[in-house]
Each structure stands twice: as C-alpha cells, then as structure tokens.
Amino acid sequence: MHRIDCPWCGVRDEAEFSYRGDATVKRPPADGGAEGFYAYVYDRTNPKGWHVEWWHHVAGCRQFLKVVRHTVTHEIRSVAKATDEVAAPPA
Amino acid sequence: MTQTHRLAQGGRIDRSRTLSFTFDGRRYEGHPGDTLASALLASGERLVGRSFKHHRPRGIVTAGPEEPCALVELRSGARREPNTRATVAEIYDGLEATSQNRWPSLAFDVSAINQLVGRFLPAGFYYKTFMWPASFWEKVYEPIIRRAAGLGRAAMAPDPDEYESMHAHCDVLVVGSGAAGLAAARAAGAAGARVIVADQDFELGGGLLLEPEQEPWRQGMLAALSGMPEVRLLPRTTVFGFYEHDVLGAVERVADHLPVPPEHGVRQRVWTIRARQTVLATGSTERPIAFPNNDRPGVMLASAAMTYVRRFGARPGERAVFFANNDIAYDAAFALHHAGVSVAAIIDVRKKDSKRAAAAADRGIAVKLGSVISDVKGGRNVHGVSFRTANGSVERVLDADLLCVSGGWNPAVHLQSHTRARPIWNNDLAAFLPGKPVQAERSAGSAAGVFGIAHCATDGAKAGREAAAALGFRDGAAFELPAPDAEVDPRVKPFWEVKAKGKAFVDLQNDVTADDIRLAHREGYTHIEHAKRYTTHSMATDQGRFSGILGTAVLAEARGETIETVGVPTFRPYVTPVTWGAMAGRHAGHHLQPVRRSPLHPWHVRNHGIFLETGLWMRPLYYSATRETGWDPILKEARAVRQAVGICDVSTLGKIDIQGRDAGILLDRLYTNTFSTLAVGKARYGLMLREDGIMFDDGTTSRLSEHRYLMTTTTAKAAEVLAHMEFYHQTVWPELDVRYCTVTDQWAQMSVAGPKTRLALQGCVEGLDLSNEAFPFMGVCDATVAGCPVRLYRVSFSGEMAYEVATPAGYGERVWEAILAAGRPHGILPYGLEALGLLRIEKGHVAGPELNGQTTARDLGFEKMLKKKGDYVGRVNAERPALVAPDRPRLVGIRAVDPSFEKRLRGGAHIVDRPDSKASLGWATSITRSVELERWLGLAMIRNGPERIGQRLYATYPLKNEVVEIEVCSPHHVDPENLRVRA
Amino acid sequence: MSRYSVFRLFREGLRNQTGWTRAWRAPEPKPAYDVIIIGGGGHGLASAYYLAREQGITNVAVLERGQIGLGNVGRNTTIVRSNYLFPENNLFYEKSLQLWEGLEQDLNFNVMMSQRGVINLYHSDSQRDAYARRGNSMRLNGIDAELLDRDQVRALVPVLDFDNARFPIHGGLIQRRGGTARHDAVAWGLARGADRLGVDIIQNCEVTGIRRDGGRVVGVETTRGYIAAPKIGIAVAGHTSQVAAMAGIRLPIESHVLQAFVSEAVKPVLDHVVTFGAGHFYISQSDKGGLVFGGGLDGYNSFAQRGTLPEAEHVINEGVALMPLLSRLRVLRQWAGVMDMTFDGTPLICKTPVQGLYINGGWCYGGFKAVPGSGWCFAHTVAKDEPHPFNAAMTIERFRDGAMVDEKGAGPFPWLQ
C-alpha cells in the first residue's frame, strides 16, 4: 500500500491513485513516424528495479505524477509533477 | 456430563457461574473463562476429531490457535462454522459443537478403515494411480476423493451476522500482550507514542496468565495502559499479516464469544493498521517430537497440559508421563504434580543429568535420562507408553493416560517472515529466530529467543523505548518490572524423531509421517517446498505452526544437511485463518459496489421504472406498473417516439466542461475531427481513438463560447475519457492553456424526441424560438422551462426530431414534469434504455457493442471523420497494416428475411454464407425488434460488409441451434437521409 | 525409473516404499545441447517434453535458476479451459485442452485433471451477447460451449446469490470440458516425462547471459558455466523482459503481481469452476476441499510476488458477494506470482529477430491452462524454426502490424488486460 507524496495534496494512500505505466516513454512529434508511435505505445523496458511511472491522483487533485518506485521493494524514491524532469534512477 | 477432571481450585475460570454446552449432542458443563477444549478436558473428553486421510482418532494437543487436531463445527444452521479450533473458542451458555470428518460418529468412524490400507497410501500415492481406465478418474475415483475431502461442513444459508473494517494509524503497534508486549507498550506509551496492543487471546497477559504470582504485575500494567489515552488495547485480535509499507492486518473477534452478536453489532472487525513502528512480542510456541503413534488422543504439548491446569483448572489426565529435551518442560511436570496429577516419569532425551532432575526426584517424579518414547498404547485414548534408552532395545511400559511432549520452542517469526526478513538459525535453542528486520519492526521476548518473565519484560521495555525513540519520542517514566524468577535454561538438545516401528507423525491434521518425508526425498522432491507440496506437510489449517519444523528436520537428516540449510516453507498470511465475511466487511450483498442515481431517479421509482443494475448506475429499462416482461412495453415506448413524442433520461452520459484559450486545440488533438472551427452555439459529433488507433469513445461536443466547450461522452467511458484528456494535456501538451472538469452529476439531461417534439416543447420552453430556421439541427441554445434555466442541444440519438434538455440537477424533476405536462396532449410517453436502444439500432448509431475496444473508425464506416491535416491521438497507429486491411469486418445493417417474431435474430450470432458453414464472416453486434420495419434487424460487423449490401447471408447461433436468413443492408434502417432530425 | 500403477503401489506398500527412486535425475550440465530451454516452469518443462516426444529432439537441457515448478506454475489457481473468442486463441487453447485430456496417460502421472465445467456468469443482456459471440465462435471452431439461463445456472450452482445480489446473475456460458488440474503434478509429471526421454533438467542454474555470434545465438552463460546450443527457447514468464534483454531484445511486456488464495478445506460445496461477470473473481474447490480463488492484478509493475491487503479484501469481497455461504469459512493462505502482461492479453510463442532464439512468454492470465499446448507449439516452433498455425498469431511483430488479439478490448494497458 504505497504512500505517495503528492506535491499538491501531501502524502496520500495508493487507493486515491490510478496507475498509468511507464513515464519514460515520450510521445513523438506529429511526424514521428510509425516506429516512433509503435514504441510510444508498446516498447517497454519493464525494469526489475527502479521504475519511473505515472500515477494519477484521481481522488484528489487529478494531476498526473511522475513517481520513481522500485518494482521489487515497492519503495518510492521521489514524486514529481508531470512536467518536472526526473533524473534517471540508479540501475 | 459432570466435570470429572475439574480441579477443586485454581485456574482463571469463574466457578460461580456454570455454563452448559453440547458436543456431538451430549450435554456438558463449564465455566466462564473456559475454552471448548478446556471444558471438554474438564469433563474427561479427549476424542474430538478424526484426521484427514486415515481418519485416526484425534484429541487436543495444544492450548492455542496453532491447534491442528481439535477442530469442530461450532454452532448450527446459518451460523455453522467448520474447522473451529476448540482451543480458542470461548464457551457460552447454549454453545453447540459437533465433531467433523467422521461418519457415523466420532467413536465409530467407518472411514477409519483407511488405516488398514494405510501402508498402500503413502504421501503422493494419488499421483501414481487412479489413471486406469482413463475414464474412471473423473467418473469414479475423483467423486469419491472429493466426498472424502475437507474436514468440516460449510453453512448452507447466508450469514446473518455483520462485519466491518476499521483503519487505524499508530506510532507503535505491539503484537502480543505477554510480559514483553505489556512492557513494550508501556514504555512506548510512556514516551508519548500512540500505541495499539493486539493479542489474539480473550485475556491479555500471554504467559503471565500461567503464573499466579505475576498477577499483581500484570494487573498493574493493564491498569496503567488503560489509563493512557493514546493506548488502545485490542484483545481477541489476531494480527494476521504484515504487509509492505508497514501495513498490518488484524481481525478482532468482537462477538464470537457470545451466542449471537448484539443487535446492530458486528461479529468480527478487520483492522488495517498503519504502524510507524511495530514490536513483535508474539511469543513462542512449543513443538512436539515425532515418535510412533504420537497422534493418539492423550498426547499433547507439555505447555498445553500446564495451561489447562494452571489457567483453566482442568486436569488433562490422571497419570502423566513427560517426554522432553529441555528444562522448561520440567516446569510443566511440576505444575501438574502440584495440581494433583500423578506424574509417573519424565523421559528426558538428554544423557547428562540436569539440575532439574534433582527437583523432580524431590517430588517423587522419576527421571529417565538418555531415553525416548518408542510407542504409545491406545487407539482412541492413551493408556500407556513404552520407552527405552536412546539406542537401546529393551522397552519398558508405563501406565499413563497423558503423554506431555516438549521438543523445544519455536519463536513465532511468522509475521516477520511476511516482510521478507530471513529467520536465522540458533543452535542453542535449535530454532529459527527473527532475522535482520527489513521493515520498521523489532522482536522482543520469547519471540526473539529471550526466556523467563523478567527477562522478557526487560527486553520488551527496551524494544518499546527503541521503537518510540526511532520516531523521535523521548523516554517516558520508568515502571516496575516483574521480580526475577528462578533462572530457566531454555537450551534444548535438538531431537526430532524417535525411529521405531509405527507411524510417527510430522503433520497431525494431514497424516504426514516422517517416512513420508523420507519418501519424498527418495523420489527427488527434496527441496523443502517440493517435499511440502508432495506430502502436504504444513499445508493444513495450522500451516506448519505446530510441527512444521519436524518435517524440515527429517528432510535435513535425509539430505545429510542442516536444518538451517533446508529451511522451512515460506510463511505467508494468514497467521491464523481469517473469515471471508470479516475481509468483506460492510460490502456484503447490495453493498458490493456503490449505487449511482440520476437526479430523476425518484421520478422513475414513483412511475414504475424497471431498473437495470449493471455498472454503478441505476437506469430505467422501461416503465411498467404491472412489471410486465417481454417486448411489449418496449415496443410501445419506441412507437411513441417514432409516431409522437417521448422523453428519456440521459443524465448518466459523461459531461465535461472545457475552458481556456486552447480548448479548441486540445479537442482537435483528442478527436479525429475538428472542433476549433466549430461555431459558437453549435454541436458536433466527435470520435476519439486510443493511441493504438482503436475507437475509444464517441460523443457530441458543443461550443458554448469562444473559449468554452461542453463535451459529452458515453456513460460507460465518462471517467476514462476525462482521465485520457488529463493524461494528454498534462503529460504531452502541458503548454496548452485549458482547464476542464467533470460536470456529469451537475446536470440533469433529458432527450425529448419524436415528430411532435417541437409542439410539446413549445408548450413549456420560454424565451426561445424553436422553429427550424431559428434553431436548426445541431444547434445549442439557452432557455427557461418552468422558471428553471435550461440548455437545449438539438441532437438526436433516436433518429427522430429531438432536443436534449439540460438543467442543473436540482431542477431536473421540475423540468421533466413540465415537459411531460406540455407533451401530454401530444401523447408523450417516458421511454427507457431498452426503447432508446431499439431506436438507435434502427437508426444505425453505434454504441457500446460496436465500440468494444477492438474496432477502428474505418471498421465502423467513419473514414470521413478522420481529418487529413493535424495530429490527433491514435492517428499514426490507426494506419498499421492490419488495421486498414480491406477484409476486416466492417459495419453494416442486417435484417431478418422472415419478419416473424419467432425467428429471432440475436446479438452475438455469427454471420456465415451458408447455413452449415463454420467459417465466420463476422458477428451481429446489436439486434432489436424494429417498430418501423416490424421485423428483427440490427447492426453487424461483416468481412467486406459494405460490398455485400443486398446479399443474403445467415446469422448462425449454435448455442441455441438457430440459423436465420438475413439480408445485408445499410446500417441506417430508418430515415437514411436524416430528414426527420433536420425537420 | 519405472511406471506408476496401482500394482506398483501395492508392491511398494509391502516393501515400506523403499523401492521408489527419483522422479527425475539431477545430471550435471553437458557443455553443449541441441536445444536449451531457459525456465523450468510449466511451459519450459512442457516444451522440453514435446521436443523429445513429438519432435524427436532429446538432446535438450532445461535450465532452471531455482527449483522446477515453484514459479507461476506452482502458484496459479489451476483452471483449465479453452473458452476464448478469437480463433487465434481458441484453437490454440483447445489444442492444449485436448492434450490435457490425455496428459496423465501420456505422462504416466496423475495430474488430477477434473473436467467439471467452467461457468462464466453474465449479469446483463449486453454481457450475454458478448459471451454468446464467444460461445458461438467456440462452437463454430468445434469447441464445446453452452449458454445457460438463470435457472439452469441455479440448478448447477445453487449456492450462488440469486436473491440479494448487487449485480443479479442473468445466466452463464459454460464449457463443460473445462475444469481444473493439480498444478504441482503437471510440473512434476512433465519433468519426469521429459527426463525419461533423455532431457536433462538442470536446477540451481541461472542464465546470466546469452551469447551471440552475429545475428544468431550460440549459447548461454550460467552460474554453472557456459553451455553452448544453436537453439535457445526462453520460457521464464515473469522475467521474460529481463532474459530477452540479454540478447538485446525489447518486448511489449510488463510484469505485474497477481494474488491467489485458498480457504480451509471443507466438505464439497462447489462442483464447478465459476467466474464472476460483474467484477474479476474466479473460484473452484480442490479435491482436498480447499476453495482456490483469485481476482485481478494489484495493478502496477511489480516483481515482488507479494500483494496488498486492500486488494485481498477486494477479491474476497467479490467472493462473498457471489457465494454468500463463504462468509463463515476462513481464508487460509494468500500468495502471489509475477505475471507477464502483454499489451493485448495474448501471449508470445514466436521467433525473435535473433536467429535460433525463441520466446514463450507474455502469458497474462492464460498460463496454466496453456501448459501442454504451449509446450507443444513451442517445441514445433523451435524444432522447425517456424510457428505452428495454432501459435502463428502470437508474434512480437503483431503489435507493429496492428494485428492485436485483444479478447477483452481493454487496449494497450497491461494492467487492464
């Protein structure tokens, strides 16, 4: 039961959020081509370790948050706003 | 039955009151403070069950929740509860208990015949047989095995009791209320921490309950804790799981000790506890030793015998023999002796004379050093034991009706193990101790391998202080610790099995013997997890808490490795099994999911709406005062719309208010078509794709002003569309100046449709020219109805002239009734979901069955809505080759050739070109009985569909052996030129 | 290693079980094999078995980093069925079901296959129609399916809540040939069967690298040394991304945690497998009497094999709503596995861009029922370097092509599949 420190709402329980997967994939510009848009939707690293991912605070501020979380220990290292740059976590 | 084995005095029971209960129909007596087990023992009853496989007689072997044998059905009727541990069940007046897994009776169980062929039924035997003839497994063998399966019987009626769940946050959770737990709680509480103390027992005190001279200290501690406002004491509360992020689950047996829960009270309560720090003062449980016939009723743990004597004032036997490898067991022998039970001998595995042997001799108890029990005499009741020296051959027999066994103590590390901490083997105690904590916890007391009340209290106080200090609390006032008792040496000589002729059990409930473990090893199932699964050792209701370590020890010896290397099977929740009902809490029956109601719901109820319960919304399917079923009420409503006017509640559609300079741009990027060019006061139908190019949702979006739009979505996808919008705006195009929020619940919205709609609305809409010239199709205007502000959208789902009337939710019923009154002279009828569906299918509008997450815009005939210029979600991936392949199933209309009602078309039928063909060309998505064409018709996805218009094909429905001839046609069965909507 | 039979049981009973020997050998790995299968779970063992039995390739090693059968094959809820919608799936699962039907004879190991019927409940007309589309598709493809109305469901499973439900039961789609099998037994039976045919099962052997020479594989680095092979099949669901990455391959897979549960054993109350249509819940009763059940994913990428309490409460809640008599029974144990979730819910049994390297993974909820079929198809794919028609659609390329096989229509969101 993760606790996510929402930048706007404070520390909240996982139950207030909805998951939206890998946040490192970037939507290509409009002329990005078939391969770019394929990768945006389907190509995933699926790390066993630190993962940068989207959590949507649906029961709170309705903002998407960029969370760095470990996929084995479930430790949360950082929570950032959608537009913040997040440093690549250690491998 | 009289209490033949009740001690004249002693115990914590309330002898001033007598309770009466039944077991297998026989009446017994006991006292408040008794468990079912103690009360049965006090009446001399020992046979309480039968084992799973061999149906061997089973008695009471422990005094706690780890009990593997004394499982009974408690209560009867709808409250019957199988597999209840008699050692934990508190008796109340009128309690009914029944033994399990035996027929016709406990004393004479026919299935005990299994024992005669026991040698042919070793572990895993069923994997090697029951295979011939091939058909017999399912028809003959399995049904027999299934009938023999399980122990107790479930109640066959719904549970009348209620449950609830609570959430609690604390600084320090203390699990266990023995000396260590009470001291930890007091230390943490004194430091100012918020503390919860949970103990599965109905009395707090743990091992203190067996030490009368510690009673003043125990009571003093409880009084102090009760006086601390930030300390919560939870007896009868088992902490069953330690989850990540320092969440623990616990179940409180609020009313299980009462005949029925109090009115409006709950039976059990599940606690979700967020503890910043946890102290595991869970104690340790004694473990047995394996030897031939160690499962006979009358064989029990030494500490259990002591508990029955000291705590419950019950004599578990008249003449006891003890079998032990440690000093602590001697305390139990002395306790029994002191209570007047004759203790014939202590058979001590250890060769060296320990100081305790002298104390035993003082009491006239013989001590046989370097000796082992080699057999137990008696089937349903122990009447003697035989023993010999460890390697000797000469066996001597002792009369005894009680054999008390102690193989040492296992610290209760289960909760810690849930956190992935790895227990560490300790050679002195020959047991696993808690390992390095992974989460915010520490163990204290005998759970940490500390023995002796005074030592445990000291250890607990330290743990409590440290837990509080870790959170920044400063040490509080000191308190008195219990007087040190006589030093007790907890060390054991590791001893696990006596090798002798006969079945030596390592799992009493599942009838797993030491030989079974060796067999598993021989066959290569030598990893502890394989051995466990192969033999079912540790898979019974106690999950190995009682004797799991014995299996490991036998396996380790077979492998020639240490117990530490072999390990024990992984401990997982639940430490003690938890009732389903408690985990479900309040969400029983109708409360499984919340209910969402339209603002017009009360009107629907008053006017005989028949409701659909799917998803969260309650929506009227149709209206019928007589609750008629079938198509008649639906056809009547649909006809009213086609011929006159109808009104339908469409409030559940998603509505999103979008504002900002870049609102139009965002819409252009979400929809396949263009909205930035939409004129103010106009509505437009739009399609949204997922990023993978598949159709996501459709809706009508209106421009209310230069920088304001109102989007509608389907009911089902409303939340997803909003999330989709938020995702793309916030993570892809955050530079867009736009805001949006859901207004679904804020508006009541009703669709007024039919050729007489304008006439009806002219009777109630104020401040608006409703003529076609002033207010054409796809326009949006504000007005007033019955003094309430309304907005009219001239959009049509039904294919008739129609306006959707939206008003703030609170005005919904008033506006609805005003429209009804104005429409009455024109024959207005309310219509529900079924008629709405019929009409839209006739018209050829797509909905959920067509937008099923597998179809593309092209599949549905919407190529023209895919704008050529400008990016939008899904644009690129929609062009992937398989998604634009020409032979994909595409949307068409289908009509039954034979118009009769009986030859039904059904949704889910497949389309084939010959009645007997198995090659599916597609399927029928939405089918209805038509009012315009008076036949079955609808929509279908068919390969090369549009090219097949005019063809005769077949709708095949093998599930009902139906084949119906159809004609392929345009999906727009009614008014394909859209004359009616533009009228 | 000799055959199992009641006669052997009788003989060994007289001999105090002393004549039983190892069910499968524990050989040292050879320096090279014709085929290496990475992963000693159900799919890996089945692939090795069918390579030997059907494809005549016996110089095979199964490399398992721990002990065989303790991953997802030992953690699932044991349901076996072939009631899928698309022919790309239902023909494959039906092949698997047919193999299940003969498996114990084939393996000489009782996998306790119980074809007691799988009932998918529906709770509305539109859900009925969607199930009918699936059931009709099954029937057109020669697979058994029946549509039951409410009364017919009630006659089969009277203990369900028909009177007070939040989402009333309208009926069900039943596949009578579906049911359950004993998960450990099939892993052990396949291991024993493969071993008898000459396959080496190497436990405690973790693959740490895949060696390539140009565009083809040549062998694997392991904790027990380098082992060469011209053909390598990856069958490590849960860690497919990690092992594939050793060969530089990226996949449309995310790993998620799925919980499973068992109740205390009680006398029989449920004779079918039942799935709830207004939530995500499925339940059956094992031959030992425990009710085995589960629900949906916890919902985020995880390799933890450990689920949360709220999700457990949610699953158990749906169970009580479905079968009220469960309320006074007790849940005994909960555990979890790590699931390969693909972006359309359909697995991967295919070649890769690297010559000689093949992938079997992405099983989502389909893994256990697919064990024999997956092994059979993967063996074919590896042996012939071409997929069989039954797994022809289960490629990595299907996502680039737009040829998703998305039964639920949930879209490219693995946690929703």
For the stretch C234-266, pLDDT in tens is 999 899 999 999 999 999 999 999 999 999 999
pLDDT at B849 over 90: yes
- Residue C130 in domain: yes
Residue in C26, C188, C402 closest to B693 by CB: C402
- Alpha carbons B206 and B203: distance in angstroms, whole number: 8
Q: Which residue of A has its CA nearest to B740?
A: A62
| Domain assignment of residue C1, yes or no | no
Q: Which one of C340, C361, C388 terminates a domain?
A: C340
The CATH number covering residue C295 comes to 3.30.9.10
CA B959 to chain centre: 34
Specify whether C123 is located in the same domain as C76. Answer: no
Tell me the shortest Cα–Cα distance from C307 to chain B, in angstroms: 8
C384 and C335 in a common domain = no
Please check whether residues C159 and C269 belong to one and the same domain: yes
With beta carbons less than 8 A apart as the criterion, state whether C96 and C113 touch. no
Please check whether residues C49 and C92 belong to one and the same domain: yes
Q: How confident is the model at residue C12 (pLDDT cuts 50, 70, 90)?
A: confident
Q: What are the structural domain ranges in chain A?
A: 3-81
What is the number of residues in chain C?
417
User: Measured between beta carbons, which residues in chain B are less than 8 angstroms from residue C309?
Assistant: 241, 243, 247, 249, 272
Share of chain B above pLDDT 90, in %: 90
CB contact under 8 A, A48 and C308: no
Q: Could you tell me the pTM of the whole model?
A: 0.96
C-beta atoms of C137 and B910 within 8 A: yes
| Tokens standing for residue C239 | 């860690």
Domain identity same for C244 and C197:
yes
- Residue B481 Cα distances to B183, B282, B474, angstroms: 8, 19, 20
Residue B485 has a pLDDT of 76
Q: How far is A69 from chain C (nearest CA, A)?
A: 9
CB-based contact C308 A72, cutoff 8 Å: no
Tell me which residue in C125, C140, C319 faces B920 most closely, judged by beta carbons.
C140
Rounded Cα–Cα distance for residues C20 and B524 (Å): 10
Annotate B651-702 with DSSP letters as a single string: TTSEEEEEESTTHHHHHHHHBSS--TTPPTTEEEEEEEE-TTSSEEEEEEEE
Nearest to C302 among A22, A34, A74 (CB): A74
A58 in contact with C at a CB cutoff of 8 Å? Answer: no
Long-range Cβ contact pairs of B607-613 (< 8 A, separation 24 or more): B607/B830, B609/B832, B610/B832, B612/B833, B612/C124, B613/C123, B613/C166, B613/C167, B613/C168
Residues B74-94: b if buried by 16+ CB within 10 A, e if exposed? bbeebbbbbbbbbbbbbbbee
> For all residues of chain B together, what is the average pLDDT?
95
Shortest Cα distance from A54 to chain B (angstroms)?
Answer: 9
**Same-domain status, C122 and C93:** no
Number of H helices, E strands in chain A: 1, 6
Tokens of B101: 């897994």
Do C285 and C336 reside in the same domain of the chain?
yes
Q: What is the fold, at CATH topology level, of the domain defined by A3-81? A: Folate-binding fold (3.30.2270)
What are residue B286's phi and psi, to 5 degrees? -70, 150
Q: Which member of B245, B726, B734 has the closest CB to residue A56?
A: B726
Range of the domain at C391: 6-82+84-108+183-251+344-416
Which chains share 3+ C-beta pairs under 8 angstroms with B?
A, C
CA-nearest residue to B420 within chain A is: A73
Are β-strands B19-23 and B95-99 bridged in parallel, bridged antiparallel, or unpaired?
Answer: parallel
Contact present, C162 and C168 (Cβ < 8 Å): yes
| Domain final residue, candidates C311, C340, C369 | C340
Q: Is the pLDDT of residue B183 over 70?
A: yes
Neighbours of chain C (3+ CB pairs under 8 A): A, B
Nearest to A21 among C254, C303, C308 (CB): C254
* Reported confidence tier of residue B353, pLDDT bands at 50, 70, 90: confident
In sequence order, the 6+-apart residues with CB closer than 8 A to the CB of B348 are B324, B325, B354, B357, B367, B368, B369, B370, B371
Of C252, C303, C412, Cβ closest to residue A72: C303
B734 touches chain A (CB under 8 A): yes
Residues C206 and C73 grouped into a single domain: yes
Sheet holding B596-597, edge to edge: B596-597, B617-623, B609-613
On whether residue C333 sits in a domain, the answer given is: yes
The minimal CB distance from C325 to the residues B151, B154, B165 is found for B154
Asked if C330 and C263 touch (Cβ cutoff 8 Å), the reply is yes
CA angle B170, B174, B179 (to 5 degrees): 150
One domain, residues C223 and C188: yes
Q: Given CB atoms, is A91 within the 8 Å cutoff of chain C?
A: no
When scoring A46, A50, A51, A52 by the number of chain C Cβ atoms within 10 A, the one with the most, hence best to mutate, is A46
- Give the DSSP H or E segment for B518: helix B514-522
- Residue C113 counted as domain residue: no
- Residue C411 is assigned to a structural domain of this protein: yes
Number of folded domains that form chain C = 2
Report the pLDDT averaged over residues B671-677: 98
Which residues pair with residue B779 across a beta bridge?
A: B682
Q: How far is CA B365 from the centre of its chain?
A: 52
Q: For the residues B827-850, what does the mean pLDDT come to?
A: 97
Neighbour-count burial for B153-172, b at 16+ CB within 10 Å, e otherwise = bbbeebbebbbbbeebebbb
Q: What is the pLDDT of residues A35-80, one digit of tens each?
A: 999 999 999 999 999 999 999 999 999 999 999 999 999 999 999 9
Which chain B residues touch C344 with a CB distance below 8 Å? none
- Of C305, C322, C340, which residue is a domain's last? C340
Cβ atoms B62, B542 nearer than 8 A = no
Inter-chain contact B727–A74, Cβ cutoff 8 Å?
no
Predicted confidence at residue C5, as pLDDT, reads 87
Inter-chain CB pairs, B–C, below 8 Å: 348
pLDDT recorded at residue B107? 82
pLDDT the model gives residue C21:
87
* CA angle, B572 then B576 then B581, to 5°: 105
The reply to whether residue C402 touches residue B272, judged by beta carbons under 8 angstroms, is no
What confidence score (pLDDT) does residue B1 get? 65
pLDDT surpassing 90 at residue C20: no
Give residue B148's pLDDT band: very low, low, confident or very high (50, 70, 90). Answer: confident
Average pLDDT (C120-129) is 96
Q: What is the CATH number of the domain that holds C350?
A: 3.50.50.60
User: Rounded distance, CA B920 to CA B954, Å?
Assistant: 10
| Residue B59: pLDDT over 90 | yes
Using a CB-CB cut-off of 8 Å, the residues of chain B touching A43 are none
Kindly tell me if the per-residue pLDDT of B354 is higher than 60: yes
Cα distances from B884 to residues B881, B941, B963, C402, C413, in angstroms, run 5, 15, 31, 9, 22
Amino acid (one-letter) located at B669: R
Inter-chain CB proximity A64 and B726 less than 8 Å: yes
Bond preceding residue B776 cis, omega within 30 of 0: no
- How high is the pLDDT of residue B801? 96
Predicted confidence at residue C1, as pLDDT, reads 53
8 Å CB contact of C304 and A44: no
User: How would you label B807-834 residue by residue, b for 16+ Cβ within 10 Å and e otherwise?
Assistant: bbbebbbebbebbbebbeebebbbbbbb
CB contact under 8 A, B245 and A1: yes
Q: Determine contact: B727 vs chain A, CB below 8 A.
A: yes
How wide is the angle at C-alpha B905 spanned by C-alphas B904 and B906, nearest 5°? 110
CB pairs under 8 A between A and C: 63
Q: Which ipTM was obtained for this model?
A: 0.98
Distance CA(C85)–CA(C410), nearest Å, equals 14
Residues C25 and C125 in one domain: no
> How far apart, in whole angstroms, are the C-alpha atoms of residue B105 and residue B228?
52
Separation between Cα atoms, residue B799 and residue B642, nearest integer Å: 9
CB contact under 8 A, C250 and A45: yes
**Can you tell me the mean pLDDT for B97-104?**
88
Of B459, B110, B93, B428, the closest CA to residue B280 belongs to B459
- Contact between B331 and B488 under an 8 Å Cβ cutoff? The reply is yes
Tokens coding C102: 């003969």
> What single letter denotes the amino acid at residue B892?
V
Pairing of strands C291-301, C253-263: antiparallel
Give the model confidence (pLDDT) of B461-517 as tens digits: 999 999 999 999 998 999 999 988 778 899 999 999 999 999 999 999 999 999 999
**Predicted confidence (pLDDT) per residue in C314-358, tens digit:** 999 999 999 999 999 999 999 999 999 999 999 999 999 999 999
Does some domain include residue C396? yes
Is the Cβ–Cβ distance between B429 and B151 less than 8 Å? Answer: no
Contacts for B824 with CB less than 8 Å, ≥ 6 apart: none
Q: Do residues C236 and C358 both lie within one domain?
A: yes
Residue C220 lies in a domain: yes
